[in-house]
Structure 1
Amino acid sequence: MELGKNLEEERESYHFTQKEVADILHVSRQTVSNWERDVSYPDLESLVYLSDLYHISVDQLLNHAM
C-alpha cells in the first residue's frame, strides 16, 4: 500500500473530509489531495500531526505504506 492510499483510508475511517484535515493541519485542501494521490508527501511535522490526528504512530503510518 502506498502512503497516499493509507492517508486516505485513515482520513475516511474518521469520517473527515480533505478540507477538515487541511484546516486542522493549516494546509490547503489541495495539499491533502496531493498527499493522498502520492503527488507530494507530507513533511515530518505534518506526518507527526497526521499520526496524532489518526491515533497511529508515524512508524505505523509509514510502514503501512511499504
Structure 2
Amino acid sequence: MSCLKLGEQLQRLREAKNMSREELAQQMNVSRQAVYKWENDKGYPDIQNLLKLSEIYETTIDELIKSDSTFQDKINIDGDKKKDADEEMLHPGFYIGIGIIFLGIFLGLIFGNLIISTALNIVGTLIICFYKDILKLFRDVIKDFNQQ
C-alpha cells in the first residue's frame, strides 16, 4: 500500500474490514458522501476524522498519509496559512496604528481636545485593521497615475 493515494488506501482498508460506506459513515458520525469524497480523493478528512479512521482501521495516521504527497502538500499549505495568520498581527500597520492611537491619547491629554483624540484613535484603529487594503489602494492609485 506504500504507493497508494489516501483515498485508495482508505477504500482498501474499509473493504478489508468488510464495511460499507454507510457503516463507516455511521461509525464516524459523518455522511456517506463524506466517505465517498475521501475515498475518491475529492476531499480529505480533517485531523479528528483521521484519528478515528486510524483507530477503526487499526493503523497509524503516518501510515495513512505518508504515501499521498498531494495530501502532504495540502497539510504544508495549511501550515503556511496558519503561519501567515500568526504574522498578521506583526505587520507594520499594526505598529503604525498603535502609534497613532497613542499619539491621539497624548495630544488629547495635552490640548484637552477630545475631538483630536477620538479622530486619531479611529484613524489608528482603521490602519491596524485595513493596513494591507490601504497599501493595495495606494499601489493601485500610483499604478494608475503612472499609466497616465
TM-score class, shorter-chain normalisation, is over 0.9
Equivalent residues, number: 66
Inter-partner Cα distance in structure 1 for 2:45 and 2:34: 9
TM normalised by structure 1 equals 0.95
Aligned to 1:19: 22
The structure that has the greater radius of gyration is 2
Inter-partner Cα distance in structure 2 for 1:45 and 1:17: 21
The letter of the residue matching 1:18 is: R
Q: Provide the identity percentage.
A: 36
Structure 2: runs of 5+ lacking an equivalent? 70-148
- Could you give the per-residue CA deviations for residues 22-60 of structure 1, whole angstroms, max 9, x where no partner exists? 000100000000000000000000000000000000011
Q: Which protein has greater RCO, CA pairs closer than 8 Å, 6+ apart?
A: 1
The letter of the residue matching 2:5 is: E
Higher helix proportion? 2
Inter-partner Cα distance in structure 1 for 2:66 and 2:54: 12
> How much does 1:64 deviate?
3.9
The letter of the residue matching 1:51 is: S
Q: Does structure 2 retain, via aligned residues, the 8 Å contact 1:6–1:64?
A: no
Moved over 4 A (4+): none
2:5 is the counterpart of 1:2: yes
Structure 1: runs of 5+ lacking an equivalent? none
TM normalised by structure 2 equals 0.43
> Which of the residues 42, 47, 50 maps onto 2:45?
42
